[in-house]
Structure 1
Amino acid sequence: MSKLWGGRFTKGTDVMVEEFTSSIAFDCRMYREDIAGSIAHAAMLAKCGIIAGEEADLIIGGLKDILADIEAGNFSFEVSLEDIHMNIEKRLTERIGPTGGKLHTARSRNDQVALDTHLYLKREIGAIARLLTDLQQALAEVADRHQEIIMPGYTHLQRAQPILFSHHLLAYFFMLQRDFARLEGVWQRTDMMPLGAGALAGTTFPIDRHFVARELGFSQLYENSLDAVSDRDYILEFLSFAAILMLHLSRLSEEIILWSSAEFSFIELDDAHCTGSSIMPQKKNPDVAELVRGKTGRVTGHLMALLTVAKGLPLAYNKDLQEDKEGLFDTIDTVKFSLSVYASMLRAMRINAERTGQAVRQDFSNATDMADYLVKKGLPFRQAHEVVGKCVHYCIEQGKYLLDLTLDEFRRFSPLFEEDILEAIRVETCISARNSYGGTSYSQVRRALTQTTAILREQGKSCEKMK
């Protein structure tokens, strides 16, 4: 088959080279964007008098028919035609005749593929923004339903201080809020129109790039043609956003996996979100959380891969940049699926309040509150820290917890202890006392839940803009 670019060549392309250089196997998913860009380009060519209006109408009608064929499954993509652009252009020319060849006037595949990728990523960012907001909504819903459940907070995976389960979940809500803000920034820099840059230097035809931008819903144009065809910053930013988002989901996954184990038993995942073992009948495995944790490395790898591809490229376009798409597409698919399944899993999980309460009462996570008690009685914190440390050591030797001690036992370590010490280190008191802004107290969690409502409302408005 003769190539659309084959005029300069005297022999055909090696079959292995065709397969190696072809991108149609993966860039075919951008057919909607490619056709939308071509329709806008054809309309602009007619507006500017570069082609006749009748020719533009014929081209646009042919493109719409091809779109219908693809969506009906009546279009065969050919490896020999390399990519989505040439597959569509060849079919267009077959359908409407030589006029189809006029579509490529004043553009190059370099700016065409850049346009397709910008359009495609803009659409997918909007979808991801909605899924991300729904996951935040799920976290807020679960936190709201379980506002007063107490659990141990951890540092170094050792019980540290008592916190509210809702406070723990809301930590992830606010992580995801930052992710959403990052995604908004990516969308802004994806919302730039590269078409009209040509291969690298612009075009000699009197085109109207602003018209095409309006037709396609772009708010900005690239100011430099070299930059327009070589820029992949917006993809790198998206991959960076995705890697950080998946990192956050991976951290939550690790906790979900721990909490659902028999050793913790803080939660039980719904059967619909677990699998069993082929050999051990008793098993209920948290596969969703494990897979999200595992797929995080895959997304991070795509970011590293494209950074490595782009780091040594001279301006403007190089074939290396074809490597931007498979990692991007896989990242989009991975992120969308992870967000969807995670929201469903969180909404269905059950919290074992009895077990979390038992855990926090059978440890020394109220020790800091005991030290704070002594500080409020006038003892410097470093001395109070030592007193409580000795008291904890005594309890461990005696097989007791701090709440098990009598007032006489407390006073072995400091005369500052009074009868109110047991109330001061009661778990509920410890929670209520941590009332600094952003703390784990009941009132601070209620304030945070109110804040989530406002945040989700604003994000909803942003999602509408990113459609």
Structure 2
Amino acid sequence: MTHVSPRQPQVLEIGARLNEPPSASLQQTAFAEEAAAQERLRDAVGWADIAHTLMQSRLRTIPPEAAAELMAALLDLQWVDNRRELDPALGDVVTNREAWLAEKTASAGHLGASRARREAITTGFVLVLRKNVLRLAEALCAMVTQMADLSVAHRSTVFPEYTYLQTAQPTTFGHYLSGFAFPAERDLQRLRALYARLNRCPAGCGSSNGTRLPQDRRMLADLLGFDGVVEHARDAMWQADLPVELASCLVMIAVNVSRLAEDLMVFATHEFALLELADRHCRASKIMPQKKNPFALSYLRSLANHLLGVQTAVAASGRTPSGQMDNRMEAYRELPAALESVTAGVNLMAEILDGLQLNEINCRATLATSFAMATDFAEELVELGGADFREAHRVTARLVRTLASSGHRLDEADAKLIEDIAMEELGRPLNLRDEDLPALTDVDAAIRARTTIGGAAPERVLEAVALLRDRVENHWNWTREAASAIDVAEADLLGAARKLAGDC
């Protein structure tokens, strides 16, 4: 049976353009999903309504008494009666709010003057996104700061570098971890650039090409704390690129976090045993008593997978013909929730890093038994033995194969074996002595020697971290200034709204 709200005929224009209310099936599907998708937008739509009413009052589009009554009802809805559930029988958040306001004042009809529902929802959507973008930026700043602190603490902590999941070369955990901090800082750069485009007011556009009734778009932008207006009215109402751009930013952040989570999950296994997660970030098996499942890391991987789907959905909805509501529905539903999820995921990764325990003994053992010093060995042969690097590489590769086949390590080679291989491969000796060899397999010396810009030497790690800290401090300042500007605008708007309502 079709549910009919007491205000449904009025707010859904039943008896005007339409002769019958929406069917039960339409209410239970499209209307219900639309209302659920817009739940996160309801408070922000309220701010948009307050600003629109204040503008109309100042332009005298609404009679003074009606403007005061409407504003009083809007404030009551925003602060007192704001937990009412959206009724699918009424459809979207705008018609629900109109029905609630109509219960309080006969002036509710003035709210829709020269204003499509799309304008109110789009404005609320942007208001929600910009706040959540700033929260995400703050979380990224905190995570990068956490990475920087750990990188300094572990700038000399020996750690094996991997390629193709095979031990490659020696590094430090500080150098390894700071390699994830720089992409995260670039994520901050991307969010900051996006915010500059996002923080433009779409309100005051009528349907999508302006209106004959007075509108002051710059006033609306100032009231809502925007940096300016979206210059073209139709673009303001139907933008597809910014939702896709935001989804792309979220994917990049989630992928960077997921890559680190993937690594940590591997390094925490019994087979690698390079580090251990805190118990508070794990979950016990219900059947295998020995298991300590890294559930927090698994969640971060799944979050990245989900965001890839969100990006595809938002992009697909944006590529439909312009001026279609399905351009917007996926973005309304997915992006506010995705922003919250990614922010929580970034905070979780920072917490995971804070709880990690490194096993440096196993790290050193892995390097010693895996021929990870082979590249350094070959480079030293260039200096000591007068060979070019290709020759040194060939001799070292043959040496590794020989030692591995007999169960020996690189630091167990003697000068005679190397000279024999050099004669076979190069046709001449390298004139090495046994006393030359320990320096060729010294892990700590190899790390200290990596002094190129961005290298693993402790002093280079400190330089990289200092650069990160400077950049992140700049981002912190930006987030604080942007958030403060929003807070000031909201406080001023609320004060002006209360003053208008007090005239009632």
Shorter-chain TM-score range:
over 0.9
Query: Which of these residues, 43, 47, 69, is aligned with residue 58 of structure 2?
Result: 47
- 2:440 aligns with 424
Give matches, 1:156-195, under 5 Å: 156-195=164-203
Q: Greater relative contact order: 1 or 2 (C-alpha under 8 angstroms, separation 6 or more)?
A: 2
- 2:470 aligns with 454
Give the residue type in structure 2 aligned to 1:234. L
Give matches, 1:43-442, under 5 Å: 43-71=54-82, 73=83, 75-97=84-106, 99-314=107-322, 316-377=323-384, 378-412=386-420, 413=422, 414-418=429-433, 419-442=435-458
Contact 1:131–1:339 (CA under 8 A) maintained in structure 2:
yes
How far did residue 208 of structure 1 move?
0.6
How far did residue 70 of structure 1 move?
4.2
Structure 1 distance, partners of 2:73, 2:176, is 56
Structure 2 distance, partners of 1:402, 1:179, is 41
- 2:493 aligns with none
Deviations 1:277-314 (A, max 9, x none): 11111110000001110121111101001111111323
Of 132-141 and 258-267, deviating more is 132-141
How far did residue 173 of structure 1 move?
0.5
Contact 1:122–1:466 (CA under 8 A) maintained in structure 2:
no
Deviations 1:83-132 (A, max 9, x none): 111111221121122x1110111211122211111111001111111111
Deviations 1:140-182 (A, max 9, x none): 2222222211111111111111111111100111110111111
SS of equivalent residue, structure 1 residue 415: coil
How far did residue 420 of structure 1 move?
3.0
Structure 2 distance, partners of 1:243, 1:442, is 32
SS of equivalent residue, structure 2 residue 168: strand
Deviations 1:405-452 (A, max 9, x none): 223333333424343332133111111111110011111112122222
Structure 1 distance, partners of 2:175, 2:191, is 25
Deviations 1:248-299 (A, max 9, x none): 1111111111111111111111111111011111110000001110121111
Structure 1 distance, partners of 2:431, 2:59, is 88
How far did residue 3 of structure 1 move?
4.5
- 2:502 aligns with none
Of 403-412 and 85-94, deviating more is 403-412
Contact 1:149–1:357 (CA under 8 A) maintained in structure 2:
no
SS of equivalent residue, structure 2 residue 270: coil
Of 293-302 and 45-54, deviating more is 45-54
How far did residue 464 of structure 1 move?
1.1
Of 117-126 and 61-70, deviating more is 61-70
Give matches, 1:27-42, under 5 Å: 27-42=38-53
Structure 1 distance, partners of 2:475, 2:327, is 36
Structure 2 distance, partners of 1:218, 1:242, is 22
**So what's the TM-score if we normalise by structure 2?**
0.89
Give the residue type in structure 2 aligned to 1:112. A
SS of equivalent residue, structure 1 residue 152: strand
- 1:21 aligns with 30
Contact 2:185–2:472 (CA under 8 A) maintained in structure 1:
no
Q: 1:335 to 1:206 in 2, by over 3 A?
A: same
Structure 1 distance, partners of 2:321, 2:314, is 11
- 2:501 aligns with none
Q: 1:394 to 1:76 in 2, by over 3 A?
A: closer
Structure 1 distance, partners of 2:183, 2:395, is 37
How many residues matched?
463
Contact 1:369–1:424 (CA under 8 A) maintained in structure 2:
yes
Structure 2 distance, partners of 1:397, 1:35, is 73
Structure 2 distance, partners of 1:220, 1:424, is 62
How far did residue 61 of structure 1 move?
1.7
How far did residue 320 of structure 1 move?
4.5
Deviations 1:202-246 (A, max 9, x none): 111121100000010111211211111110322111110111111
Root-mean-square deviation (CA), in Å? 1.6
Structure 1 distance, partners of 2:286, 2:450, is 47
- 2:491 aligns with none
Structure 2 distance, partners of 1:227, 1:238, is 17
How far did residue 56 of structure 1 move?
2.3
How far did residue 352 of structure 1 move?
0.9
Give the residue type in structure 2 aligned to 1:134. A
Q: 1:251 to 1:319 in 2, by over 3 A?
A: closer
Deviations 1:44-80 (A, max 9, x none): 1111121133332222221111112345x4x232111
SS of equivalent residue, structure 1 residue 384: helix
How far did residue 5 of structure 1 move?
4.1
**So what's the TM-score if we normalise by structure 1?**
0.95
Structure 2 distance, partners of 1:76, 1:258, is 45
Of 19-28 and 284-293, deviating more is 19-28
How far did residue 346 of structure 1 move?
1.0
User: Do structure 1's residue 443 and structure 2's residue 459 form an aligned pair?
Assistant: yes
Structure 2 distance, partners of 1:307, 1:394, is 55
Give the residue type in structure 2 aligned to 1:65. D
Contact 2:414–2:437 (CA under 8 A) maintained in structure 1:
no
Of 317-326 and 133-142, deviating more is 317-326
Structure 2 gap segments, 5+ residues each: 1-7, 423-428, 484-504
Structure 2 distance, partners of 1:325, 1:204, is 29
- 2:9 aligns with 2
Identical-pair percentage: 25
Give the residue type in structure 2 aligned to 1:444. R
Of 282-291 and 446-455, deviating more is 446-455
Give the residue type in structure 2 aligned to 1:63. L
Structure 1 distance, partners of 2:216, 2:299, is 48
Of 168-177 and 409-418, deviating more is 409-418
SS of equivalent residue, structure 2 residue 161: strand
Give the residue type in structure 2 aligned to 1:335. V
